[in-house]
Amino acid sequence: MDSDSEIDVKAVDFLQSSDDDEQPQHYIQLLMSVGNKRTRQPRGNSALTGREYVLEQLHGHPKNLFEMCRMHRDTFEAIVQLIRVRNLLPSSRVSAEESLMMFLRTVAHSDRNREIQDRFCHSGETVHRHFDNMLTALSALAPDVIKLPNMNIVPPEIQHNPKYWPWFKVQSDSAHILLI
């Protein structure tokens, strides 16, 4: 049995040969021999599918979910519920929980696409698409779930603490308070 490097060498030698009459027949034979020797093997060889892994994390020990997603279970479930109620994700065979978990794992641990592919048993294109869809969905939720601080009030933890307050000077005009 020829190794892949031997097949590649034969292919290069064949293409550099000058016998034009025999080229098509040899070329077909060479391609058939290459096709017979290379068989595809699935890369996703985890015991758990992505969906099963998500269920294990959601129904397992709470610290496991927090360490993996940097989020408590009730918060995770509330976000999934908001995404579903507002219909922010396109329908897919991948659940909203799995999409959110892939997104959070990528962001929380700086995991690369390849690592998410291995853990959740999806292709690189699927991981990328669901990351992008989840980013869009969370961006749409941001105005409703993120509360911006009131910029006109200095928090008492800063104002009454001599460690922090000396670094601020308050300038006021009729419409704005500027902390410098």
Mean pLDDT of the 14-23 span: 57
Predicted pLDDT of residue 31 = 65
Mean pLDDT of the 87-91 span: 92
Q: Is the domain of 55 the same as that of 99?
A: yes
Predicted pLDDT of residue 168 = 64
- CA pair distance 33, 4, nearest whole angstrom: 11
CA-closest candidate to residue 44, choices 102, 126, 121? 121
- pLDDT tens per residue across span 137-159: 999 999 888 888 787 887 888 88
Model confidence at 25, in pLDDT bands (50, 70, 90)?
Answer: low
- pLDDT tens per residue across span 48-68: 888 889 999 999 999 999 999
Residue 157 lies in a domain: yes
* Cβ atoms 135, 102 nearer than 8 A: no
Predicted pLDDT of residue 165 = 73
Structural domain of residue 31, as residue ranges?
4-37
* CA-based end-to-end distance of the chain: 76
- pLDDT tens per residue across span 110-138: 999 999 998 898 899 999 999 999 999 99
Query: Percent of the chain, pLDDT > 70?
Result: 67
CA-closest candidate to residue 69, choices 105, 117, 112? 105
| 77 vs 6: which has the higher pLDDT | 77
Predicted pLDDT of residue 40 = 60
Residue 179 lies in a domain: yes
Q: Which residues pair with 171 in a beta bridge?
A: 178
Q: Is the domain of 137 the same as that of 63?
A: yes
Q: Is the domain of 87 the same as that of 165?
A: no
Residue 170 lies in a domain: yes
Predicted pLDDT of residue 81 = 95
Q: Is the domain of 126 the same as that of 55?
A: yes
- CA pair distance 157, 167, nearest whole angstrom: 13
Q: Is the domain of 79 the same as that of 130?
A: yes
Predicted pLDDT of residue 30 = 64
Q: Is the domain of 117 the same as that of 158?
A: no
Amino acid at 38: R
Q: Which positions ≥6 away from 145 have C-beta within 8 Å? A: 82
Residue 78 lies in a domain: yes
What is the count of structural domains for the chain?
Answer: 3
pLDDT at 13 over 70: no
Query: Which has the minimum average pLDDT: 16-25, 37-46, 111-120, 152-161?
Result: 16-25
Q: Is the domain of 59 the same as that of 124?
A: yes
Q: Is the domain of 63 the same as that of 10?
A: no
CA-closest candidate to residue 88, choices 134, 25, 39, 32? 134
Q: Is the domain of 55 the same as that of 140?
A: yes
Q: Is the domain of 64 the same as that of 110?
A: yes
Q: Which residues pair with 170 in a beta bridge?
A: 179
Q: What is the mean pLDDT of the chain?
A: 80
